[in-house]
């Protein structure tokens, strides 16, 4: 084992141990030992209902945390670094969100817009890209044109909503949903005065300033408070020379999961039929890690079970084209927002070793022979 593999193995085991320590379930020591010997965490037992007969049909936590991290090799950075991923999606511009810039050392660094160092106005002052000027009314020096807080505030004045994402990491962590309101701002639902909001932005380091993607009527109707994303797992079949979709779910937010739709934070997961786009019932982790199944959304009463993702065939076809263009990254969990009724969508991000709880809560992955062969080929199973 080379140094790189040794490092990632150690990090994976560390993440595995940390996750187990933070688990809110406490099976007996005997049960935990049974699970650990087979590569599972306590929470997975509560979700999957593991037995001697079925446990080998599930991708284990050890395989996910340690072994699947190795599948994409050095190219995993193309997905884990959100700025690199944004550039990777350049040929599919209609399916990527706009990224206006990055916040670094208190400055705004333009990404998508070449003319981003535009003139700013502040109380009658005009600030050009050549540097600060003196306000002709107050005599005060105006902000630098690339001042991060000012640029974010200006953008919110015109768009009212933005998403700030840390360049690194995944799982919905370090994502700030920012909105302009009458008396200031909200960040992930918490209110901020303008001065507090500016301080928050100024303290961010290596955060992307992204457009807020408006979801379509179908996804928005399921639960309008949160973005409700599709999680689609693709794998590249080297023998066939093509990618395929291994599994897909529609994640749906709830009052518990706000401001996001994460399953492990209380959101719903509804399985998507890969051929028809039909949704099954939504499942939610309740207190005590018990599963609740819902044909209708428990808060909006919107029907889930039996409805169809609009334009699913087009979404599936187009996403496979994207995965094929990225065949050097053979394993990905794509987060997609459906923006219209005719197959329009945007890819929010992709994950190099996607979580499995929201997927395998609907059934074990390894019962699919093609999926099992993929994992075996990459020394996961």
3-state DSSP helix/strand/coil % of the chain, to nearest 5: 35, 25, 40
Which of 285 and 269 is assigned the larger pLDDT?
A: 269
> Smallest Cα–Cα separation from 243: which of 134, 142, 321?
321
For 314, the 3-state DSSP assignment is helix
Give residue-wise pLDDT tens across range 192-201.
999 999 999 9
Give residue-wise pLDDT tens across range 113-126.
643 444 343 433 33
pLDDT at 137 over 70: no
Q: How confident is the model at residue 2 (pLDDT cuts 50, 70, 90)?
A: low
Q: How confident is the model at residue 23 (pLDDT cuts 50, 70, 90)?
A: low
Helices (H), 22-97: 29-37, 42-48, 61-62, 77-80, 82-88
Predicted local distance difference test score (pLDDT) of residue 18 = 73
Which of 268 and 21 is assigned the larger pLDDT?
A: 268
Give residue-wise pLDDT tens across range 233-245.
999 999 999 999 9
Cα distance between residue 341 and residue 216, in whole Å: 7
Predicted local distance difference test score (pLDDT) of residue 185 = 95
Predicted local distance difference test score (pLDDT) of residue 128 = 39
Q: Give the mean model confidence (pLDDT) for residues 13-19.
A: 71
pLDDT at 152 over 70: yes
Residue entry with tokens 């107050």:
138
Among 14-23, 128-137, 173-182, 365-374, name the one with the lowest average pLDDT: 128-137
Which CATH number is associated with domain 73-96+216-377?
Answer: 3.30.470.20
Among 7-21, 249-263, 278-292, name the one with the lowest average pLDDT: 7-21
Hey, where are the domains in the chain?
3-70, 73-96+216-377, 99-211
For 367, the 3-state DSSP assignment is helix
Q: How confident is the model at residue 4 (pLDDT cuts 50, 70, 90)?
A: low
Predicted local distance difference test score (pLDDT) of residue 42 = 87
Query: What is the token pair recorded at 218?
Result: 């179908």
Predicted local distance difference test score (pLDDT) of residue 6 = 64
pLDDT at 133 over 50: no
Give residue-wise pLDDT tens across range 324-361.
999 999 999 999 999 999 999 999 999 999 999 999 99
How many residues in the chain? 381
**381 contacts 364 by C-beta, under 8 angstroms:** no
**265 contacts 177 by C-beta, under 8 angstroms:** no
Predicted local distance difference test score (pLDDT) of residue 271 = 98
pLDDT at 363 over 60: yes
Q: Give the mean model confidence (pLDDT) for residues 147-172.
A: 88
Query: If residue 180 lies in a helix (H) or strand (E), which one and from where to where?
Result: strand 175-181
Give residue-wise pLDDT tens across range 309-326.
999 999 999 999 999 999
């Amino acid at each position: 084992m080379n140094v790189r593999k040794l490092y990632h193995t150690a990090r994976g085991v560390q993440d595995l141990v940390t996750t187990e320590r933070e688990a809110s379930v406490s099976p007996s020591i005997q049960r935990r030992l049974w699970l650990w010997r087979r590569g599972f965490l306590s929470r997975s037992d509560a979700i999957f209902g593991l037995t001697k007969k079925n446990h080998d049909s599930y991708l284990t936590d050890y395989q996910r945390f340690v072994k699947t991290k190795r599948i994409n090799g050095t190219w995993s950075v193309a997905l884990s670094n959100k700025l690199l991923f944004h550039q990777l999606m350049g040929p599919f511009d209609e399916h990527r969100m706009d990224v206006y810039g990055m916040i670094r050392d208190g400055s705004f660094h333009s990404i998508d817009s070449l003319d981003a160092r535009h003139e700013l106005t502040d109380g009658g002052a005009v600030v050009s890209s050549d540097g600060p000027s003196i306000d002709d009314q107050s005599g005060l020096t105006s902000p630098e044109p690339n001042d991060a807080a000012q640029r974010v505030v200006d953008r919110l004045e015109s768009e009212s909503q933005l998403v700030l994402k840390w360049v690194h990491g995944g799982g919905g962590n370090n994502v700030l949903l920012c909105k302009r309101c009458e008396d200031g701002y909200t960040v992930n639902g918490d209110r901020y005065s303008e001065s507090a909001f500016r301080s928050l932005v100024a303290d961010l380091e290596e955060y992307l300033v992204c457009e807020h993607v408006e979801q379509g009527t179908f996804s928005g109707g399921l639960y309008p408070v949160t973005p409700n994303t599709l999680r689609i797992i693709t794998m590249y079949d080297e023998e066939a020379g093509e990618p395929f979709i291994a599994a897909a779910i529609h994640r749906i937010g709830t009052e518990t999961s706000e401001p996001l739709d994460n399953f492990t934070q209380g959101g719903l997961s509804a399985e998507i039929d890969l051929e028809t786009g039909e949704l099954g019932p939504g499942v939610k982790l309740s207190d005590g890690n018990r599963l609740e199944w819902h044909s209708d959304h428990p808060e909006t009463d919107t029907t889930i079970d039996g409805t169809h993702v609009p334009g699913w065939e087009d979404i599936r076809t187009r996403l496979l084209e994207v995965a094929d263009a990225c065949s050097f990254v053979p394993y990905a969990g794509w987060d997609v927002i459906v923006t219209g009724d005719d197959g329009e969508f945007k890819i929010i991000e992709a994950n190099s070793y996607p979580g499995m709880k929201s997927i395998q809560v609907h059934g074990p992955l390894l019962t699919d022979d093609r999926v099992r062969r993929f994992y075996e080929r990459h020394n996961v199973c």
